Chains A and B, each alone.
Chain A
Amino acid sequence: MNEDHTQTAAEERIELDAGPRVKPFYTAADLDEERGEERPGEFPFTRGVGPARQRPLIKFYSGLGTPEQSNLRFRKLAALGVEEIQIAADLPSQIGYDADHVMAAGEVGRAGVSISSLRDMEVLFDGVGLDSLARVSMLGNAIGPIALALFVALGERQGLAREDYVVDLQNDPLKEYYARGTQFLPVEAAVRLAVDVVEWCAENAPHWYPLDACVNHINSAGAGSTAGTAFAIADAIAYVETLVGRGLDVDSFAPQLQMFLDEREDFFVAVANVRATRRVWARLMRDRFGARDPRSMALEVTAYGHGRETRQEPRNNIVRIALGCMAYRLAGVQSMYSASYDEALWTPSDEAVVASARTQQILGLEQGLDAVVDPLGGSYYVEALTDEIEREIVAQLEQVDAEGGAQACIANGYFRNVIAEGAVRRQGRFERGERATVGVNRFVSAEAALPAPKGPVVDPEVERLQGQRLAELRAERDGARVEAALAEVASAAREDRNTVPAVLEAVRAYATIGEICDRFRAELGEWTPDQQF
């Protein structure tokens, strides 16, 4: 392993977290002679989705406490120049429990904002038009049709046509079962709901982004970015196969799919991973799924500017995050979140959020990072690393295929095992001091330990307030309309029809997330946690 700052023998290789073992230098001899010239905007899109310069949208994941509290933060973000806001909803909302459910106790408004119904969304976006941002967004991994319906119904309430705004959903349930943990339905049912969203958007909102296959949590859980990318692509294959199985032409929906890529351990791997993934995706869409539209093959990418942030000396994280953002800018992603420097401590303070937004803006405007498409293309090292990561992603994908695909790998524990082994390997490297973290296991100094400003406090009243709001809502709304809409949700689920129209009507009637999810649970069954480790 690498000793910091020491000379190594000319042939000694360093093993990167993502897998490749890199040499001290690279030359033209390391390039693939058969490749020929690749150009941005041309198959296989290694160098980017288009030939024109473009700047990634600045995207923030935000939400805490009550909708009122988060609305204030949203307004501040918009004023800072943030272009896409992704609602961070609390865990009850993500898992389909209302704020007054027994399982929600202690969690309401904690890891995100409490949302139980369209009423909460109206407050959350009060004074922030959905069309005032380039895109609006929500994870909705386990509740995809509801997340979609909340934005459709809120747009209607704000007097907007669907053409006026852009909705961007993660809606990627498969990785929840092995890397993130908000699943509550059986796997098959969750895939079906996610795919309902893609199908509905293909027909009704072709400019929206209904699903991104997400590497972020798989990598950080332990798989590493290379295996993580292969697993996320395998998840995407499962969704695409389901859609094609419904009779949809792949070109009718594939241009709307994205991937959320992630590498936090190595700057050049982050760049090469994006380039390699675009190449793998283009071949997959063309050769495996028979896509003909270049837009189906050109993968749009979102990413999160992160380093390995630490609790200690939190301001150092500004540098880590900036480097993560810089790698993704050089790689040519379409939208980018950036972490805030105090995220390892708590939900970000206003000051940390400002620093994060400014990091992206400074990188974009002040140093020419966006002046040329794929500026690292042609680097011996970056090209060789791109090729190596591509080969390893393809090899991992073949392994997943041999296991029977993503759903089989969830059922037989393959994904879980790779992640657990990777997590143990990272912990071992950390414990042996091989994984350098400045201020934690290198150059530790009491002098450097300046505290960060505290994060926002969750009002201890939030649970009671949200419960009270729900009681009022249930008293005020048209109960008969709600009951009829919920019955229709149940029959759509039971009869294997696309659930989005029924869910949309229920959301418009102010049915709650919990009520809709209870119908799903009753009709589609419930996931039960396993106890293996």
Chain B
Amino acid sequence: MAALEHTPKVLVAKVGLDGHDVGARVIARGLVDRGMEVVYTGIRRTPEQVVAAARDEDVDVIGISILSGAHMPLLTRTAAALREDGIDDVLLIVGGIIPDDDAAALREVGVDAVFHPESTIDAIADYITEALGGRSGADAQREVGR
């Protein structure tokens, strides 16, 4: 992991009504094991609640797990709420069952990266480190885990 100026702080969240949170918990534990600070907000949060928690906790990254198929409306709302709150420097990443066409559309609305179920935790951690280390880097937007 490249050296960062401070320990990355990640908010792991579920938005909407999807209650399948094993993936979110495994990733939360895995990122802690890789030296990051992690907050998990539990299931069944609205996009606005997640954004408020991100602001209150002053996080660098929001990682949203969603498997219900409602990723387009809920992530569009999340990205919009981040802009409205003026905290759009937060890295917004998503993991779940996301068809490729939707992954492209999610990046259009402001999602920085989309991870699929077979992504490794190392790949996610490396992405975060790299993206936070070089926020101005041209390749901060990409899709990992294909």
Contacts and interface: CB of A to CB of B under 8 A. Distances in A.
Interface of A: 91-92, 94-95, 97, 102-107, 110-111, 176, 179-183, 221-222, 310-311, 344-347, 419-420, 423-424, 427, 430-431, 437, 440, 458, 529-533
Contact of A91 (B17, B28, B38): B17
B116 A311 contact: yes
B107 interface: no
A107 B73 CA distance: 8
A533 B68 contact: no
Given A424-B29, A440-B118, A531-B40, A91 B16 contact: yes
Q: Please report whether the interface of chain A is mostly helix, strand, loop or mixed according to DSSP.
A: loop
A181 B73 contact: no
Nearest to B26: A423
B19 A176 contact: yes
Contacts of A91: 16-19, 68, 70
B19 A110 contact: no
A431 B122 contact: yes
B99 interface: yes
Given A91-B18, A531-B40, A420 B25 contact: yes
A531 B118 contact: no
Name B's interface SS: loop
Nearest to B32: A533
A4 B10 CA distance: 38
A504 B73 CA distance: 34
Interface stretch (B41-49, B82-90, B127-135, B136-144): B41-49
16 contacts: A95-B44, A106-B77, A107-B17, A110-B69, A111-B68, A180-B20, A181-B18, A181-B19, A344-B97, A420-B29, A423-B26, A431-B121, A431-B122, A440-B118, A458-B69, A533-B12
A533 B28 contact: yes
B74 interface: yes
Contact of B40 (A110, A222, A532): A532
Contact of B41 (A182, A183, A310, A531): A531
B29 A346 contact: no
B22 to A, nearest CB: 5
Given A424-B26, A532-B40, 13 more contacts: A106-B16, A106-B74, A176-B19, A181-B18, A181-B44, A311-B118, A346-B97, A347-B69, A423-B25, A427-B121, A440-B118, A530-B42, A533-B12
B131 to A, nearest CB: 21
Interface string B59-75: 00000000011100110
Give the most central of A106, A107, A347, A458: most B CB within 10 Å. A106
Contact of B17 (A92, A458, A530, A531): A92
B118 A181 contact: no
A530 B12 CA distance: 13
Contact of A107 (B12, B38, B68): B68
Nearest to B15: A106
Q: Please provide the 8 A-B residue pairs with the shortest distance between their CB atoms, ordered closest to farther.
A: A181-B19, A106-B73, A529-B42, A91-B17, A533-B28, A533-B25, A531-B42, A533-B40
Contact of B16 (A107, A179, A310): A107
Contact of A105 (B24, B26, B73): B73
Contacts of B30: 424, 427
A420 B26 contact: yes
Contacts, number: 102
Contacts of A107: 16-17, 68, 70
Nearest to B25: A533
A506 B117 CA distance: 42
A311 to B, nearest CB: 6
B135 to A, nearest CB: 27
A427 B124 CA distance: 13
Contacts of A310: 118
Nearest to B44: A529
A219 to B, nearest CB: 11
Given A110-B68, A110-B70, A529-B43, A419 B22 contact: yes
B133 to A, nearest CB: 23
Contacts of A97: 17
A346 B70 CA distance: 11
A431 B29 CA distance: 15
A109 B16 CA distance: 13
A533 B20 contact: no
A222 B69 CA distance: 22
A221 B22 contact: yes
Contacts of B38: 533
Contacts of A347: 69
Contact of B99 (A94, A345, A437): A345
A253 B127 CA distance: 54
A344 B116 CA distance: 10
A530 B44 CA distance: 10
A395 B89 CA distance: 51
Given A111-B69, A181-B43, A222-B22, A533 B29 contact: yes
A34 to B, nearest CB: 40
A222 B29 CA distance: 14
A112 B28 CA distance: 28
Nearest to B76: A106
Contacts of B45: 529
A111 B25 CA distance: 21
A183 B42 CA distance: 13
Contacts of B26: 222, 420, 423-424, 427
A407 B82 CA distance: 39
